[in-house]
Amino acid sequence: MRKDENVLKMIEESGLDRIAGELKELTRLSNRIRTEAGDDDKPALGRSKIGGRPDLPGGTEWPLQGGRPLTFIAQIRLEDVPWKTDLLPQKGLLSFFYDAADQPWGYDPQHAGGWKVLYAADADLLQRRSAPEGTEHDGDFEPLNVEFSVQTTLPHWNTLAVRRMELTGDEIDLYIKLMEQITDHNAPGFPIHRLMGWPDQVQGEMQLECQLVTHGIYCGNPIGYRDPRRQELEPGAEGWKLLLQIDSEDDIGMTWGDFGMIYFWIREDDLAKGDFDKVWVVLQCG
């Protein structure tokens, strides 16, 4: 699938002549996910959706954190997705759970377990499930139907890949204008949900955060980024890829922090192996 020629032209005309070629190479395809009100009483099992109740293979245990069920966030039927990287399974169902009550931010190694991603290779042998009886549960979000479209995305200026280009102050200003132009083209209005591609970053860079935190380094303040292990670990940061971005959906009470987003990240090697047990989540809000 080809990248959006309009986005590539925006890069060419951005005034960033020194790095325009690199920026074109840096663009990534992404599946934008738009939503509309759904109904969990009559949908086909295994369809892609946000909220509602999950469809899981028989015998699959509902993910728990400290004995309390995680909240079902979304499921993606991979056959529904118009663009898939070769590393992503080409069929089956990905189901995403998160601790919607405590909302771990992901900057602390102790936040591990506050989310879960399940993969079912056969999306035809499923049962619609409710959280286990007798457990304290915050309840389900109302279901939303989803529709996919393919977009071409560019990373935020404050990411490892862009910082490596050593932009001048004037170039940063031009880059910010370019990003605003691409956002207006790709995603006018909210919410902005995505599968793969570059995230719509609200705060700081996330790939390095995932790399450091998953190696036991607390990143809730700048001290973690000065850890002596950073030099050794940083080269592996770009191996982290966005798997799913879920925006706040105020109409169904799905609000992350102060109307922010949650981002499910996965190492490229784990994605290639179909290993979703090591996914890391970051919450960001303005």
The number of distinct structural domains making up the chain is 1
- Over residues 115-127, the pLDDT tens digits come to 999 999 987 789 9
pLDDT for residue 137: 61
- Over residues 36-95, the pLDDT tens digits come to 988 776 668 899 999 999 999 988 999 999 889 999 999 999 999 999 999 999 999 999
- Over residues 64-80, the pLDDT tens digits come to 998 899 999 999 999 99
pLDDT for residue 139: 67
Q: Provide the mean pLDDT of the chain.
A: 93
pLDDT for residue 4: 96
Averaged pLDDT for residues 150-177: 95
- Over residues 213-251, the pLDDT tens digits come to 999 999 999 999 999 999 999 999 999 999 999 999 988
What CATH number did the domain enclosing 153 receive?
Answer: 2.30.320.10
Averaged pLDDT for residues 182-209: 93
What DSSP line would sit under the chain, residue for residue?
A: -PPPHHHHHHHHTSS-TTTHHHHHHH-EEEEEEEEEE--SSSPPTT--EESS--EE-TTPPPPEETTEEPEEEEEEEGGG-S---TTS-SSSEEEEEE-TTT---S-SGGGTTSEEEEEES-TTS-EE--PPTTS----PPPPEEEEEEEEEE---SSSHHHHTT---HHHHHHHHHHHHHHHHHH--SS--EEESS----SSS--HHHHHHHTTT---SSGGGGG-TTHHHHGGGGGGEEEEEEEE-BGGGTB--TTT-EEEEEEEHHHHHHT--TT-EEEEE--
Q: How much of the chain, in percent, has pLDDT values that exceed 70?
A: 96
Question: What domain range includes position 230?
Answer: 5-284
286 has a pLDDT exceeding 90: no
Q: Give the confidence band of 134 by pLDDT, cuts at 50, 70, 90.
A: low
pLDDT for residue 42: 61
pLDDT for residue 187: 78
Please state, as a whole number, how many other Cβ atoms lie within 10 Å of the Cβ of residue 281: 26
